[in-house]
Amino acid sequence: MTDDKLIDLRAAERRHGAVRETYLNWHKAGELELHKIGGKWFVDRDELDTVAAAHGMSPKVLTLEEHIAKVVAAAPPLTPETRAKIAALLGVGLRNNAA
């Protein structure tokens, strides 16, 4: 767990659409590790996603990086023709070994 992956329970509610009590119940059942910092509950985002997935839930709100990765993964590969069109639009030459 790293601090940059910790989110508070309000963010967890927005991320998966479940209410706070759901996460507290998962914590009480030993399924989810929560951390109390300064009177607020926090959870590791990756651990939350894993536990939520086991309960049939997927993130509804993604970070920018997660959203970009999702879009890129869903995009079809570029054809040579599409690459040439993009290069022409950008005014750059196309390398022969472009992948």
| CATH assignment of the domain containing 37 | 1.10.1660
Q: Kindly state whether residue 60 falls inside one of the protein's structural domains.
A: yes
Written as six digits, the tokens of 30 are 């030993």
Number of domains in the chain: 1
Q: Is the pTM of this model over 0.85?
A: no
Joined tokens for residue 28: 């009480």
pLDDT score of 67: 81
Q: pLDDT tens per residue, the chain (99 residues)?
A: 556 789 999 999 998 989 999 999 999 999 999 999 999 999 999 999 999 999 999 888 777 888 888 888 999 988 999 989 988 999 887 665 544
Does some domain include residue 85?
yes
Q: Output the pLDDT for position 2.
A: 53
Range of the domain at 18: 3-90
- Nearest CA among 53, 1, 3, 59 for reference residue 26: 53
